[in-house]
Structures are given as structure tokens and as C-alpha cells.
Amino acid sequence: MILHSTGGDSQKVSLPQAIANGIAPDGGLYMPDTFPKLPNALFNNLPDMQLQEIAFVIANTLFGEVVPASELKQIVFDALDFEVPLRRVKDRIYSCELFHGPTLTFKDVWARLMARLLPKLDPAFGIPRDIIVATSGDSGAAVADGFSRAANTRVLVLYPKGELSRQQIAGFAQVRNVVAIEVDGSFDQCQAMAKEVVRANAASPHPRRRLTSANSIHQPPAPVARNHMLFPRLRTGGRASSGQRGGVCRALRQPRQSLGRAYGKNNGAAGQKIYRRQQCQRRVC
């Protein structure tokens, strides 16, 4: 997979290079030039497949040239060891429940997958690894839990002073390999700080530690980590016909989080609508 920067002033890179950089030198975000097609067998066997099996097929399609299939399968099944039920609301309206993970947030899905994929896609070769993330509540706990078993890894969590509850702070501050950093500013300022630190580290010719941003807006897009977007689209109709449009309701905070929807559309699962988090009333794609 070849990726380009949304800034337009950086060279195209491979997926492992994009993972290693986190952010393009021009400050842009990495996006894929093209998406590989999912195999037809996936759509033919959907009624009998579980979430983990669907995620493995997507992962193998995207990363099979970099990570052996046997390792990918173990990664996916280990990361997604909790239920992600799809509940019918009425007619062809469904709700995808994303709060059954260890930290009860939808970010458990991508954080656990990325924590396990990262060492395979971007080996540190013995160099200590730092994961930096800005949080307004959910990301910190999900990333801390996801990387809690990662060897030789430290998680730096930046959070805005006075904007998180004690329970939210405890969700990441009490994890063994986490450094919690309170910032006298807003979440946007925390995120800007994390971005600048990653860019400065990438510019260093001989960094002593590998530094990667865990904020989803900074991560090179991995649709397998967004499979919770593609999963309901596939399970509620697969390659939907033009007369069978349904709706899936789930939380979206950033436009980039509709990546799973775009990937599904690119592969023919174009029948469902996606709604934003505000009472799931605003359709975004």
C-alpha cells in the first residue's frame, strides 16, 4: 500500500514508513492512494462469519504482504476478544454497540488492534518505543490498556487540566507503563503538542526512542482498525442493491472516522447511511 500526504508537499511512502513517521514531514496526514479490493469469498460467506473473521480477511487483504497470515489471525483474534453486537432498532435501522471492550469505549477496537499491529508493521529493533496520545477522556484509557502488554513501550498521555473526571484519569494514570501529563490548556492544545513532538522526533537523525502518535487522526489509516465501521455495513446486506438502503448509528467525532464507510463503498457495500454521534441524527456519508 502506497500513501500520500494530505499536505501535498511530501514524498509518497510505504505503509511501514507511514507508520514509522506518524505524521508527514509537511504536517499532513497519510492517506492511501488506492484501496485493495476485498475477496468475493468474504461476501459469499458473510452470513456464517463473526466479527473477528471479517476483520482478519480485511487485515490480510491490507497487510498480507508485510505480516504473515498466521500472525495476523492471532493478532486480530487476540485484540477483538469481546463482543461487538449489531442490534436491530427497527426495519433496516441498526445500532452497532461499541462499548463492550475493556475500557467501555469504541476506541478499544482500534487501540487494541494498532497496539498489536505496530510492532509488526514498524519494528523498533530493540529501540524503546514511546506512544503519545492526547485525550479528552476515551483515548487515554483505550490506548493505555491496548499497549499495557507491549514490551519496551511507554505511553505518554496528555490531558487538559480540569476537563476530565477522576475516574477518567484513573483509567490511564494507574496503568503500569503510562506517564500521565496534565496540560494547562484545551484538548486541541494537547493534540497540537503531541503532533509537534512527533514531528520533532521524526526530524532527529538518531532518536533514542521510537515515537508514534496514537491519536487516530494522526495514524496512517488502517481500515482493519476501523472494521467496526465496515462490519455493520457488511452484515446488514453485504453488497446492497440500490433499493435496499439502511442506516447504522454509531459515534463519529472526526471526518476521518468514516474511513470504514468509504472502504466499504469502494468494495461494493454501499447500501447503508452513517450518522454522527449527536443523537445519531446527522448523516455524514
pLDDT in tens, 190-209: 999 998 888 787 767 777 78
Its sign, for the CA torsion 169, 106, 30, 67, is positive
Q: Which strand (E) or helix (H) includes residue 216?
A: none
Beta-carbon neighbour count of residue 126 at 10 Å?
7
Q: What's the pTM value of the predicted model, to 2 decimals?
A: 0.76
pLDDT score at 88:
86
33-47, 53-67, 216-230, 236-250: least confidently modelled range: 236-250
Nearest CA-CA partner of 54 in 32, 31, 86, 30: 86
